[in-house]
Structure 1
């Protein structure tokens, strides 16, 4: 298989070094400070920065593995869900086997919360958490990439040029997904590139073709390769979308100008809004 060490999730042995790097990352500390203290952080940053670092170092002492990291994040996610959702309901999970690995092919409405809700449902249903496919546009800031790869995310390179590079990139991605499934690691991947900002969920056939590419070296047909991937469709529905104003702005400007240029921190702002914004009733269906 092509070397994918630059895109795959971190392993347990990476955790201490990555945690230390995060604690020493000024942008990461700033992001936490602004999220926690909002407008007070900037004028009081000279006091708050060292306190945030000290707090994180104390918490990091017990984080030595990926599971430790996810266990530390779990109560924070529980707190977020209690404050930003009215109810979270799940259906279809009882038809799946906790001992089986799956490729969860999901509609996509929120950058961080779609896979977070899937992981929450799986974790509380006695399943292992998933490896999460994320676009490389989301990891332009090093601390964001570090956090996501600690959370079992792997990076999908989107801006590849030329048919040969595209073939190599997607063949490697397909092989990685297939190998993960065979090794007992479930995968979450969106059924199209980017979120459905207009609310229309339509699977991109290119995603299915990419998934099936792993079958070519095995002389499998398209149908055999797709079947071997153990695909489970996943659908998530939010009563309220915290990012709706940002999505509407992008759609309106694209309609008016024929294109849309994202602001440098727009994806990070969307992640924060999606996490902290009110979502009302949320339903997740497997199968």
Structure 2
């Protein structure tokens, strides 16, 4: 029953409900005042733990269902005998799925790294303490949860991508809603986690000119942090020697000099355009604007731009 209309409807219903739980988790996460880098309070940590865990269980089951079919998530003795039987039992809510421990083994083939599933195991343990023993989370666990929860969110969004991983921000915004996603962009632990994800995707992510997170990926021509996309013409930085100087190349020919910043280091300066050799080049602020690629006899020098 792989990719049957019923399997797809069940999958979409699971993902819809997962989105509800994850959005509520994000609301709790961004509601935390992190200016003093404090741990979540007990109530917030409790809600985030339970909501994230429920969302991940649904996403995991949905991805296995979509990939392997209904038989992969249902106990063999409970497998419907026909499509009509499956429709009737789904409507009645009597289809019994495998345990999450069993689903995890399958889901791990399709998304999440080892660290992700370690965190999920810890969240499961914490949720069981909360649900069955009403045991509160200690301060250390509540502090770590800020970072663990955001790592889980990033991996879940990556799992939901059906096309290019550079579309991360668009899927995240669709899952959470625009306003909530913008609030998440300001949350320190999320900024740390999404920047780490960018470093796994490309060698040198640059500081995005829109959200200021180091998540602009030159190869993908997009920021996975905020979703801003645009082709940047990069110049070599005179300070760090990386091809990472960002500037407004479209308007530069109309100006003698424009501000420029390095997306890798702290260098700030300017950029000018040479109409003789048709190259752009960096300058320090308020310095001469002669093109370094033209010598005294108007012969082009060989060099890197």
Q: Which has the larger radius of gyration?
A: 2
Of Structure 1 and Structure 2, the greater strand share is in 1
**TM-score, normalisation: structure 1:** 0.25
**TM-score, normalisation: structure 2:** 0.23
Greater RCO, 1 or 2 (C-alpha within 8 Å, sep 6+): 1
